Structure 1
Amino acid sequence: MERAVWIILNKHFSLTLDGEMADGKVIDKKFSPGEDIWTNELPRLGFSDEKVQNDYNEFISDILTLFSEPQVDEVLINAKIGEESEYLNCENPLLIRKIEEYSVDEIIE
């Protein structure tokens, strides 16, 4: 099983995506806002500062827009490690950076 890790960020926030790459798709997505917290869904964090909360909600909305693009899997899978891609079709531009590829089978052995 081949997996990869990407960082998705804008000028305010970052999110780590870990996903399995199979048949030209990124499946079994896991998201982390930081620390050692992982979830199968985009994390819905709450902030006491209303402006920060609005910025975070826009960030999540922008990521949902990114994932609705037909070529998103191809862009993620074909990215070179350390390479940045910019996604501009959203409220605040997103940077996507692949940081690692790994094989679960090799780790288990």
Structure 2
Amino acid sequence: MLAVLIVVTAINALVSTGFSVAAVFFPAFIVRGGERSHTARVLAYYGLARSVSLLLIVLWAAFRIDTTALLWLGTLAGLIQLGDAAIGTQTGDQFKIWGPLGLGVVQLAVVLLAFLFGA
């Protein structure tokens, strides 16, 4: 179960980082008209700083096989995805709702199973 927790949490952090990188280099992908907006780019950098930090800490915890840290980080990553899904409802883009919602639910389910059955 620990291996599943590590893989799902790492994939979750990679997806968040990937979208943040996309927002920096292709802001119109995230925000309509964002390619002309300095504000959109600055907000993308803030998102990138947070997602890269989360990714690095997840990779560190996975390398150390720190179960407690992975449970907490997995919970955090899952809640972040649920928050992203809530924000996605404001865009009207179904991909920005169902993608994060699905990933967040899977992440939290894996955390719960790892907690209940021992990671």
Bin for the TM-score computed over the shorter chain: 0.3 to 0.5
When normalised by structure 2's length, the TM-score is: 0.35
Which protein is richer in helix relative to its size?
2
Which protein is richer in strand relative to its size?
1
When normalised by structure 1's length, the TM-score is: 0.38
Q: Which has the larger radius of gyration?
A: 2
